[in-house]
Amino acid sequence: MNTPEAHIPCGTHDHQSCVSEALATAEELCRDRGLRLTKTRRRVLELVWSSHKPIGAYDILQQLGKESGSAAPPTVYRALEFLIEAGLVHRLDSLNAFIGCPEPLQGHAGQFLICRNCRTVAELSDAGIEELVRDTARQHGFEATRQMLEIDGLCKNCRTAQQSA
24 and 97 in a common domain: yes
Whether residue 116 sits in one domain with residue 92: no
**Residues 137, 96 share a domain:** no
Tens digits of residue pLDDT in 125-144: 888 998 999 999 999 999 98
| 115 in any annotated domain | yes
User: What are the tens digits of pLDDT across the range 28-44?
Assistant: 999 999 999 999 999 99
Which of residues 78, 102, 126 is at a domain's end?
Answer: 102
Host domain of residue 159:
108-165
pTM: 0.83
Task: Report yes or no: 95 and 116 within 8 Å, Cβ to Cβ.
Answer: no
Span 15-29, average pLDDT:
90
Query: pLDDT tens, 50-101?
Result: 987 899 999 999 999 888 877 888 999 999 999 999 999 999 999 999 999 9
Per the structure, the count of domains in the chain is 2
Of 53, 70, 102, which marks where a domain is finished? 102
Residues with Cβ within 8 Å of residue 63, at least 6 apart in sequence? 47
Output the CA angle 75-80-85, nearest 5 degrees. 130
**How far apart are the C-alpha atoms of 76 and 88, rounded to whole Å?**
15
Residue 74 lies in a domain: yes
Contact 110, 90 (CB under 8 A): yes
Q: Which of 11-15, 60-64, 114-118, 136-140 is predicted least confidently? A: 11-15
For residues 97 and 18, state if they share a domain. Answer: yes
The CATH number assigned to the domain holding 147 equals 3.30.1490.190
Q: Does 96 lie in the same domain as 33?
A: yes
Does residue 150 sit within a domain?
yes
> Of 47, 76, 102, which residue constitutes the final position of a domain?
102
Whether 7 maps to a domain, the answer reads no
Q: Do 109 and 149 contact (CB within 8 A), yes or no? A: yes
Query: Does residue 70 sit within a domain?
Result: yes
Choose the weakest-confidence range: 9-23, 72-86, 104-118, 143-157: 9-23
CA distances to 6, 64, 65, 86, 123 from 61, rounded to whole Å, are 30, 5, 6, 20, 25
- Amino acid making up residue 119: R
Query: Coil, strand or helix: which one is 102?
Result: coil
